[in-house]
Structure 1
Amino acid sequence: MSFSSISEYQAHRDELILADRAQRADHKKGQLSELEARADKVVRDVRAFEAATIWTREYQGVPHPFPGMEFLTGRSIIVQTELFKILEKMPKGALLHAHLDATVNVSHVIKLAMKYPAIHVRASTALNASNIGSVLPELLPLPEELRSSAGQVSLTDSKYTPGTWVPFNRARESFDPQLGGPEGFDQWITAAATINPTEAYVTHNTVTKIWQKFQSTFRVNAHMIRYRPLHKEYIREFILSSIADGISYVEPRINFVLGEIRPFISADGLSHVPHREILQDFDEVLNDVKAELKAQGREDEFIGARIIYTTLRFITPENLELHLQECIALKKEFPHLIAGFDLVGDENVLKPLTYYLEPLLKFKEMQKEAGVPEIPFIFHGGETLGDGTEADMNLYDAILLGTKRIGHGFSLVKHPKLIEICKEREIAIEVCPISNEILRLTSSMHMHPLPILLNQGVHVALCSDDPSVFGNMGLTFDYFQVLAASEITGLIQLGEMAKDSIKFSSLEQEGKDRALAIWQKRWEKFLEYVVAEGQRVLAKGSAN
């Protein structure tokens, strides 16, 4: 191809760029309103200004900072930016991928634990400065008759008998001042229930190693979080904190395992709570929150919630069939709550979907026989670096089995035919950018495959996955990382992903239409705020 002038070359160049980006949601949207165009420009200007100022400074403990850098290292800088503060106000639609057991800030969970005398803690050895970083706490609600025999010796006392239960508050109050006292106790619990930068980027330097740390965080908290009185308050905090971050609808995944693994524990600590009663609690909390919001004139801030019934990828096919039966029974009793079914756990080492084909293929017929509304599969798939591995191949099976959405889909970009099918069948991808980075699938947002999905017109809902473990509470951090790491993605694309999160939720069409209408009103107000606030930030920056 030859060009007679620079202007002709430039025209062809512009045409090629537009053609290349034509499938993106923000380009398909068409002509922007004047307000949308102004707000998008202001955000781009703020992003560019802060990239040249905030992200070029020197920060102690943060070598070579840059927008979209590894989250746990850059988090302290992110929260200082005006861009983050602007995005906090954004109406984010729905949160479609979050595991309930990891959705409430650990500091809040500690406060909840302090309210309940049943909660006890023990350690495998007396804690001291040399071992506190490697000894994990074990937490459990004890029946009243066992509490009197619990120990009163501090976990940090050399006389502490390993494995002896100590009341949570007693253990906290008696924690050795040399180890930080009560605050040191909180830090010990927090360190065990979260992933820190050293673990994420230095010591646990493979996917397998970081997953081992990741899974240990759930073992630490599981019995405490699933103590029924605390669990109800936990659900409430998850919903309220989501609302505070601009999320108007949630579909958390709840792990249900039949047997002794991570049971829900009754208020008296003596028995396991039937799963149907956990759904009753969820429903009760949900209705209470909605009633409170309505009384405050804030009912448009929250549309509602449903749950995705999940179980773990290490159970047998026979056991899975029992879980499918229970899921159907719960759908029959709570048709408004059950959104779908999923299998969870590390795809790289646990069972692939093909291991469970026999019961999974029977699921639709089981539903018909029971006469319940459809329970779609909403499968995790492709949360892996693998190419042709079982974890990667789960994508084929998820699609063949009729999944309505794909959780993570990190390796999907390696499969052009599957991308085509996702577009044809409108299968949205629940992308969890910060989770993928911390779990070592990518080194930074710049290396994440999300732009490939956006550029090919795949529908995407941004999600937080396990925010209490990663420190990305709500959705603002994930939206920030995606925006900060791209010169193409702007505010309009973020808005389109927020809308897709509603469109691809399990809400009925009437509910989606209402949610989208409410979101649009909030979005217009947000755009006005963006223009005013962004101009203020830029004016202040130029004055300095």
Structure 2
Amino acid sequence: MAVLLQRPHAAVACLLFLYHLTSVLSIPDPRLREALIKLEASMQTGGQVVLTDAEKRLDAVLLKMKQEEMVRAEFPPALHFFKAKDLIKASPIFSLLQKMPKGGALHIHDLAMVDVEWLVKNVTYRPHCYMCVTDNKSIRFIFSSKEPKALPQCSAWTLLEHLRAKMINVTDLDNSIMANMTLVTDQDPETVYPSQDVIWAKFEETFLALWGLVTYAPVFRDYYYQGLTEFYVDNVMYLELRALLPEIYELDGSTHDTAWTLKTYQEVTKQFIADHPDFFGARIIFTIHRGVNASVMARTVEKAMKLQKDFPDIMAGFDLVGREDSGRPLWYFRDALSLPAERGVALPFFFHAGETDLEGTEVDQNLLDALLFNTSRIGHGFALLRHPVAKDLSRKQGVALEVCPISNQVMKLVNDMRNHPAAALMLENHPLVISSDDPAMFGATGLSYDFYEAFVGFGGISFHLGSLKQLAINSIRYSSLTPKQQDKALDLWQRRWDKFVSENVF
């Protein structure tokens, strides 16, 4: 029986035969019951991980923590993250997860990786920073050596250093600016954001609000370095960043092209590794908004192929971003997305797909189409359980889902994390990784909050240290790194993991 449990797929037929035999005889066998329970446990994410003695001791500590967590009056995974955040921060499980080496973050967006407080307190206090207020009460920024030209539907530009000089207390102004750069609210989030349409409108507006800050050349470098720092502090050793690669501007208004932007990512990444030798690196997934037309998409794919050739070390591949429900489906862009294969060019795809609850729509076919275009991973894949063919293909092809728990909840796809589709997928060890999407927009940082929601919310009592270990390993094995680089990264991660275990076993 022990041998069979080490080979769950081979064991299923045998155990089912015994089950049917006992059913016929109407004699429930307690040994068979125990074997079935163990078999099911072995099939979940991390179910085949063999723990060391030290890991077993830490796992026992984790189990006790989780049992105490699940009887709390307010169970954080059942609450909206904006209400649950302080409860999570107070959790000993969260404290342990912060220390845990989590491997890589494979689904992060460029303009939402840095705490907005850093942007306000650091960037908006720099010289030559102008702000205007739009007709719909949002804000825009620009750095300029002279007064900028007026923007349509925006107030006159105000130099922030002059505005602050006139104020006795600038805290209210800073808080107001921060409120325009995040979805976080002190009010009831269900009331503030009653529908997906409302929250997506605010979500997209926040990116416009911070665009002029982040795309200023000196800030752009500092912003990316700060983003790497925040993930590094959260014990993440590798990133794959979805980036629009926008034109970056200088104080005199001159701009740099896409290649310059990608090269800057490369330079800053190298500098960060030099400063932090136990950080493995970062790669860029070039993105474009899915609202463009077919001809713009074709030109962008052409550009992506050239960037892939010119920057093979930093460029990981290509993706489409933006709300799926209101954007064009992948099949609309089939001619443009077929260009790399037609030309024999290797341009890996990392498509967002299945970030929807609109079953049966044209957009709902993005999951299957992503697989038909040989996507390397699937961003979100929230709808995968409703697509058995796509689910089977993704498993057989080893196409992992990039699951972003907090994002899916805040963007109103799921209320209670215990009901997230990934909970069922993890019980059958479907290939997936945990990431945080746009942490700055949700008032989170790094990966620890999302790991908490997955470990405590998805897993209940059944997920254990082996589950966490497997998720970290997945984040490296399903990355865009070469097999040789993955092995090297895993060696580095394993050393950090062993140190983490030894330091937290008492």
In the superposition, the TM-score normalised over structure 2's length comes to 0.90
Aligned residues: 479
Runs of 4+ that moved beyond 4 A? 2-5, 64-68
Q: CA 1:337–1:367 in structure 2 vs 1: closer, same or farther (change >3 Å)?
A: farther
**What's the counterpart of residue 57 of structure 2?**
38
| Corresponding position: 1:286 with 2:286 | no
Shift of 1:502: 0.4
Shift of 1:162: 6.8
Q: Deviations over 1:455-477 (max 9, x none)?
A: 22211110000011011210000
In structure 2, distance between residues paired with 1:265 and 1:165: 20
Name the residue aligned to 2:454.
Answer: 482
Q: Work out the CA distance in 1 between the residues paired with 2:161 and 2:464.
A: 48
**Which whole-Å CA distance do the structure 2 matches of 1:81 and 1:353 have between them?**
41
CA contact (8 A) 2:76 2:87 kept: no
1:26/1:390 Cα in 2 relative to 1: closer, same or farther (>3 Å)? same
How far apart, in 1, do the equivalents of 2:203 and 2:82 lie? 14
Partner of 1:189: 177
What is the CA distance between 1:4 and its match in structure 2? 7.9
Q: Say whether residues 1:140 and 2:142 are aligned partners.
A: yes
1:164 aligned partner, one-letter code? A
Secondary structure of 1:309's partner?
Answer: strand
Q: Residue 283 of structure 1: CA displacement? A: 1.4
Offset of residue 393 of structure 1: 0.9
User: Secondary structure, in 3 states, of the residue corresponding to 1:385?
Assistant: coil
* Cα shift at 1:124: 4.0
Distance in structure 2 (CA, Å) of the matches to 1:290 and 1:525: 20
| Matches of 2:106 and 2:205, distance apart in 1 | 24
Give the residue type in structure 2 aligned to 1:11. R
Cα deviation per residue 1:485-527 (whole Å; 9 max; x = unaligned)?
Answer: 2221122101101110100111111110011111111111212
User: Where does structure 2 lack aligned partners over 5 or more consecutive residues?
Assistant: 1-22
Question: 2:215 matched to which residue of 1?
Answer: 226
- Structure 2 distance, partners of 1:141, 1:26, is 49
Task: Kindly indicate whether the alpha-carbon contact (under 8 Å) linking 1:118 and 1:269 is maintained by their aligned counterparts in 2.
Answer: no
The alpha-carbon deviation at position 3 of structure 1 amounts to 7.7
Counterparts of 1:208-287 in structure 2, within 5 Å, are 208-256=197-245, 263-287=246-270
Q: Comparing 43-52 with 184-193, which one deviates more in the overlay?
A: 43-52
Match among 104, 108, 112 for residue 102 of structure 1? 112
CA distance in 2, matches of 1:391, 1:94: 29
Instruction: Work out whether 1:424 is the aligned partner of 2:407.
Output: no
In structure 2, distance between residues paired with 1:46 and 1:10: 29
Q: Given that residues 108 and 240 in structure 2 are in contact (C-alpha distance below 8 angstroms), is that contact kept between their aligned partners in structure 1?
A: yes
> 2: distance between equivalents of 1:429 and 1:191?
31
| SS of equivalent residue, structure 2 residue 312 | coil
Distance verdict in 2 for CA 1:34–1:206, change over 3 Å: same
C-alpha RMSD of matched pairs (Å): 2.1
- Deviation string for 1:43-74 (max 9, x for gaps)? 1101222444xx32xxxxxxx55444221101
How far, CA to CA, are the matches of 2:140 and 2:233 in structure 1? 31
Who is 1:59 aligned against?
Answer: none
Alpha-carbon spacing, 1:529–1:69, altered in 2? closer, same or farther (3 Å): farther
Taking the TM superposition and a 5 Å limit, the aligned residue runs for 1:129-208 are 135-142=137-144, 144-146=145-147, 163-175=155-167, 181-197=169-185, 198=187, 200-208=189-197
> Measured at CA, do residues 244 and 452 of structure 1 come closer, stay the same or move farther in structure 2, by a change above 3 Å?
same
User: 2:164, 2:170 within 8 Å by CA — same for their partners in 1?
Assistant: yes
Aligned residue number for residue 406 of structure 1 = 378
Q: Determine the C-alpha separation between the residues in 2 that align with 1:325 and 1:50.
A: 51
Q: 1:428: Cα distance to partner?
A: 0.6
**Aligned-pair CA distance for 1:2:** 7.1
Closer/same/farther in 2, CA of residues 244 and 12 from structure 1, 3 Å limit? same
1:112–1:230 CA contact under 8 A, matched in 2: no
For structure 1, the residue ranges without an aligned partner over 5 or more in a row are: 57-63, 126-133, 151-160, 257-262, 294-298, 369-373, 533-544
Distance in 1 between residues matched to 2:315 and 2:436, nearest whole Å: 20
Which of these residues, 422, 439, 442, is aligned with residue 467 of structure 1? 439
Q: Work out the CA distance in 2 between the residues paired with 1:99 and 1:411.
A: 21
Q: So what's the TM-score if we normalise by structure 1? A: 0.84
Q: Which runs of structure 2 are paired with 1:365-514 in the superposition (5 Å)? A: 365-366=342-343, 368=345, 374-485=346-457, 486-514=460-488
8 Å contact from structure 1 (residues 347, 383) kept in 2 = yes
1:23 is matched with: 43
Give the AA of the match of 1:120: Y
Equivalences for residues 293-304 of structure 1 within 5 A? 293=276, 299-300=277-278, 302-304=279-281
Residue among 72, 77, 98 paired with 2:82: 72
Query: Deviation of residue 381 (structure 1)?
Result: 0.2
